[in-house]
Amino acid sequence: MADNKSLHEIFEEVGTKTKISDKVSILQHHSSDGIKAILRGAYDTRIDWLVPNTPPPYTPSESPSHDLADSKLEIAAMELGKYANFNGQATNQSRNISQIQRENHFIQLLESLHQSEADLLKNIIKRKLPYKGLTPNLVNQAFPNLLPEDDAQPKK
């Protein structure tokens, strides 16, 4: 990551820009495995989330900023396979974990993140990112072939 912005802050910055090229530039500037994993989690239709997309019972972190929270979403993103199937198959991370363990781990993750990043993660599970202009098409412009072509096409 080029600076110390949270994923939420990066995506908010994308939402403030009107030109597609500016949005793409911001995403590329902050390119990392973590940001790509989060964007795939939100928009890749081959991913089936194995945690409920309803509000989980958790105690939000009282951390005053994302960099003081116990976890950072960009780093935790590399373990999101615990909570998903890919192409109808268990991921290596989700293979030997019970549903109760999975949901408990997910709650612990939410509690370890700054509130803004926990909210972002809950939106990813719902497949909705609340940032203006942050679409599958934009993601594939910034990171070609990150998402299947069908996911990057505008829905008719």
Task: Provide the pLDDT for residue 2.
Answer: 43
Instruction: Output the pTM of the full model.
Output: 0.89
Which of 4, 32, 47 has the alpha carbon at shortest distance from 142?
Answer: 32
Residues 18-39: tens digit of each pLDDT: 999 999 999 999 999 999 999 9
Residues 92-105: tens digit of each pLDDT: 999 999 999 999 99
Tokens of 131: 């940032």
Answer whether residue 151 shows pLDDT above 70.
no
pLDDT band at 64 (very low <50, low <70, confident <90, very high): very high
With a CB cutoff of 8 Å and minimum separation 6, the contacts of 78 are 33, 34, 37
